[in-house]
Amino acid sequence: KAELQLQYQITKFGQGDRLLVARDITRLMRLEHTRQDFVANASHELRTPLTVIRGYLETFLDQELPKPLQRALGQMQQQAQRMESLVTDLLLLSRLEASHHISDEHPILIHPLIRQIHQDAEALASGRGHRFVLDIDPEYDLLGQRNELQSAFSNLVFNAVRYTPDNGIITLRWWTDALGGHFAVTDNGIGIEPMHIPRLTERFYRIDESRSSASGGTGLGLAIVKHVLVRHDAHLDIHSTRGKGSTFTCHFPPDMVVPVRDAE
């Protein structure tokens, strides 16, 4: 039995009068669910053929082949890898969209998590001369879903690596105060024009299509970050200056922060 879903809007006018508008969004929500199901199923189904294609390409690339053929196969392997990342991100995003709250929360041991992300980022940035600075409050931990937060934080750190020219400085900070816990990634990279900032967390929103897809991202990173944070009652703040750099900060409410003693 379909439930009626209504959206209400109250508008004030005149001398304290109010106008209440109720909009029937049942059909809209049904369509949205169909879209989410479709994306989840399509990405799931695309995984198997992609794994087979990648497997064959790896076997061929291990053999002695004429140069042009080797180059073509190398390109195919790169594109298959890109497609696999896209499918993985699409699947993750559709899972995140399917429910609005995390079902279980545990202390995520934020210090080892940030150290792990730092190591992965060093590998991604290898040979580019970036310097990483870690500034982590060792006394407090964060409650949440480890895998989801790992995806969100990695996306922010990997973006900092991608959108910062060689020899940049990337800072990872975790601190707490009366407002809660905060994880921030700062880079001194290319920065972002103010007009783009409100739309950055939309799926596939990219400022410069050619540069962004060449950077190896899927265009879904910040959409994933946003959904993970919403599910943790947290939010993302973006400050950036074109040509100078950016800071992406995740703000978590106080009840998601616990002393490390309790976390162990």
Q: Distances from the Cα of 143 to the Cαs of 103, 104, 115, 140, 181, in angstroms?
A: 12, 9, 17, 10, 10
Does 218 contact ligand ADP by CB under 6 A? yes
Q: Which stretch binds ligand ADP (CB under 6 A): 42-50, 103-111, 138-146, 206-214?
A: 206-214
CB of 154 to ligand ADP, least distance (A): 11
Separation in Å, CA 9 to CA 3, 28, 119, 208: 20, 17, 48, 36
Stretch that binds ligand ADP, among 23-31, 70-78, 186-194, 253-261 (CB under 6 A): 186-194
The answer to whether residue 206 forms part of the interface with ligand ADP (CB under 6 A) is: yes
Whether 157 and 185 have beta carbons less than 8 Å apart is answered as: yes
Q: Compute the Cα dihedral for 53, 82, 130, 170 and give only its sign.
A: negative
Coil, strand or helix at 139? coil
Residue 111 tokens read as 């210090």
Indicate whether 148 belongs to the interface with ligand ADP (CB under 6 A): no
Q: Does 246 bind ligand ADP (CB under 6 A)?
A: yes
- The yes or no reply on residue 168 touching ligand ADP (CB under 6 A) is no
From the CB of 79, what's the least distance to ligand ADP, in Å?
A: 15
Residues lying near ligand ADP in the complex (CB under 6 A): 155, 159-160, 163, 187, 189-192, 200, 205-207, 212, 217-223, 246
